[in-house]
Structure 1
């Protein structure tokens, strides 16, 4: 059984639409949900045109990670979890 205080890691890929460019989406994962976030890869459109794609390594308790993922889902962002996309 995993303790709720045990830190765990989760890899996700998230699409941030260009309309969210001014929103601190990733920053809120840290400040509001207590996650450690590492951006392992990112693609952004030139001159702020197009959507951004981010590969994120999230670290936190299972509850923190679930809350952070729920936040991203509430924003209706596209999210791929590592078990859904294979090798990236």
Structure 2
């Protein structure tokens, strides 16, 4: 029987990736380092990657994986909005 820690859940977030991070594999690390499944549902990128990028992500994983992935984004000091703030997109 799976515990609550093993139950998969989904969370929608929006992440702003500053131009300084365009060469960093931020989204890839959510998958490889934190075991999350990431679906990019929308993205806005500046022409020639000059400006900041915005990504709407549907992330799936255990509560712990999602928490750790969001902590990683927070540690990078990226702006992150969760589904409670983006319901009206």
TM-score band, normalised by shorter chain:
over 0.9
- Kindly report the root-mean-square deviation, in angstroms, between the aligned alpha carbons of the 2 structures: 0.9
Q: Residue in 2 aligned with 1:8?
A: 9
Equivalent pair of 2:9/2:61 in contact (CA under 8 Å):
yes
Post-superposition offset of 1:87: 2.0
1:52 paired residue number: 53
State the TM-score, normalizing by the size of structure 1: 0.96
Gaps of 5+ in 2: none
* TM-score normalised per structure 2: 0.95
Please state how far the C-alpha of 1:84 moved relative to its aligned partner. Answer: 1.3
User: For 2:57 and 2:43, how far apart are their aligned partners in 1?
Assistant: 9
Structure 1 unaligned runs (5+)? none
Q: Structure 2 CA distance, aligned partners of 1:21 and 1:71?
A: 16
